[in-house]
Amino acid sequence: MRKAILAGFNLSKHDAEFQQYIEECIQLAKANHIDVIDVMIQKGRSLDPKSVFRYGKLMELADRARELDVDCIIFYNELSIVQLERIQQECQCPVIDRTNLILDIFSSRSKTKIAKLQTEMARIKYSLPRILKQEYGVGNQRGGSANNRGAGESRLELVKRNIRFQLTDLKKQIQVLKKHQALQDQSRKHNPLKKIALVGYTNAGKSSLMNAILKKNQRSKEKMVFQKDMLFATLDTTVRNIQLGHHQEALLFDTVGFVSNLPHLLIEAFQSTLKAACDADVLIHVMDASNSQLELQREVTMETLRQIQADHIPIIHVYNKMDLVKDASLFDGLCISAIHQEGIDALLDQVSKILYPNEFDFECLIPYKELSILQFYRKVCRIVKLAEKEDGIQYHVSGSFQVVKGLYPYRCKEENIHQEYH
């Protein structure tokens, strides 16, 4: 693991809030296999336009970097090329910023072709000023031979042209994939199955909850998704078929986690992987109840949902990791533990109620000589055989109240459909 100092200039008024961003940045570094061994913060109304930190603090940072023999310095603030070069020069140490960290995570872990291409495009755009600045240093040297099309152009022009080609090529490839994706979305739209999307801050436990639901559904291990204590463990959407209640099938989507201040260059890549969330019939907002930054994470999630125009979709707020929380009474909502499989039934019940608001289900016993009555009901509601009894067959029925009420006289004694209805 590489070692680093994390530096940040606090322009915001609240130290506690800034501290939370710093903690998150440490986790982002960890996800990039970088161990932050020291943190240095300067606070003020405006940062130094040339070096972010003011001179005295910058020298302190340089000394500290030397003393700790770190491999790099990470800046929380997004750096301009001028700032980056100046800090690098003064500290004699490689410097990266938070945007760089997030880009590296996306680059190394995106799996789908479109996510890879979009990340590549973001990376080129991010590096563009840096490359051009480098080239400018050797600019105006003649490049290419007389036979080349580039003959007579400055090296800088050649580099610019090359990058333009790369970007156009990437854009074309992305457009083709987007068209293909649109067709898939269209066929998914025609899929009669309801869609449920797990959304929430990164590391909240979305993938663990997906696995918990799959486990409840007794799905095989191969169907399980990747879960890990690491920011952005999931970068691409995964979809699985699940059974909600008796015979209610649905599609469950696991999505990329949200993060505060997502670099603007990555927004497009991020949004296209979040398409599943925008098309869902219901969202399950997973929160890490044990996290000290819960409120901030909740706000970021709600704001991101607004940005991707998914805030009109019915949403169930779920507090996860309750096994790590001492006082559950502090949480006013559905409390679960994905890891310990607790609260999953209650959650699926709520999902069912939202997706099928007029649905009722109960168990009934149909006497053998009256079984023909089911011929009609099989066409209009869902009927699952449970057991053969002495005096008839026991079924679980579900469907809209208007339909299933005809079977109500056959209900098993402990069932009471009217109670559910009111």
Q: In the complex with ligand GTP, which residue's Cβ is closer, 51 or 234?
A: 234
Name the minimum Å distance from CB 235 to ligand GTP: 8
C-beta neighbour count of 390 within 10 angstroms:
5
Q: In the complex with ligand GTP, which residue's Cβ is closer, 257 or 399?
A: 257
Name the minimum Å distance from CB 207 to ligand GTP: 3
Q: Which of Mg ion, ligand GTP, none does residue 299 bind to, with CB < 5 to 8 Å depending on kind?
A: none
Name the minimum Å distance from CB 205 to Mg ion: 8
Q: Which of 85, 119, 82 is nearest to 102 (CA)?
A: 119
Q: Which of ligand GTP, Mg ion, none does residue 339 bind to, with CB < 5 to 8 Å depending on kind?
A: ligand GTP
Q: Which of Mg ion, ligand GTP, none does residue 228 bind to, with CB < 5 to 8 Å depending on kind?
A: ligand GTP
Binding site for ligand GTP (CB under 6 A): 202-208, 227-229, 231-234, 257, 320-321, 323-324, 337-339
Q: Which of Mg ion, ligand GTP, none does residue 202 bind to, with CB < 5 to 8 Å depending on kind?
A: ligand GTP
| Nearest residue to ligand GTP, scored by beta-carbon proximity | 257
Q: Which of Mg ion, ligand GTP, none does residue 27 bind to, with CB < 5 to 8 Å depending on kind?
A: none
Name the minimum Å distance from CB 215 to ligand GTP: 13
Q: In the complex with ligand GTP, which residue's Cβ is closer, 113 or 340?
A: 340
Name the minimum Å distance from CB 300 to Mg ion: 16
Name the minimum Å distance from CB 260 to ligand GTP: 13
Q: In the complex with Mg ion, which residue's Cβ is closer, 109 or 206?
A: 206
Q: In the complex with Mg ion, which residue's Cβ is closer, 232 or 410?
A: 232
Q: Which of Mg ion, ligand GTP, none does residue 169 bind to, with CB < 5 to 8 Å depending on kind?
A: none
Q: In the complex with ligand GTP, which residue's Cβ is closer, 157 or 342?
A: 342
Q: Which of Mg ion, ligand GTP, none does residue 34 bind to, with CB < 5 to 8 Å depending on kind?
A: none
Q: In the complex with Mg ion, which residue's Cβ is closer, 244 or 338?
A: 338
Binding site for Mg ion (CB under 5 A): 206-207, 233-234
CA atoms within 13 A on the CB side of 25: 30
Q: Which of Mg ion, ligand GTP, none does residue 231 bind to, with CB < 5 to 8 Å depending on kind?
A: ligand GTP
Name the minimum Å distance from CB 234 to Mg ion: 3
Name the minimum Å distance from CB 234 to ligand GTP: 3
Q: What is the 3-class SS of the chain, one letter each residue?
A: CEEEEEEEEECCCCHHHHHHHHHHHHHHHHHCCEEEEEEEEEECCCCECCCECCHHHHHHHHHHHHHHCCCEEEECCCCCHHHHHHHHHHHCCCEEEHHHHHHHHHHHHCCCHHHHHHHHHHHHHHHHHHHHHHHHHCCCCECCCCCCCCCCCEHHHHHHHHHHHHHHHHHHHHHHHHHHHHHHHHHHHHCCCEEEEEECECCCCHHHHHHHHHHHCCCCHHHCCCCCCCCCCCCCCEEEEEECCCCCEEEEEECCCECCCCCHHHHHHHHHHCHHHHCCCEEEEEEECCCCCHHHHHHHHHHHHHHCCCCCCCEEEEEECHHHCCCHHHCCCEECECCCCECHHHHHHHHHHHHCCCEEEEEEEECHHHHHHHHHHHHHCEEEEEEEECCEEEEEEEEEHHHHHHHHHHECCCCCHHHHHC
| Nearest residue to Mg ion, scored by beta-carbon proximity | 234
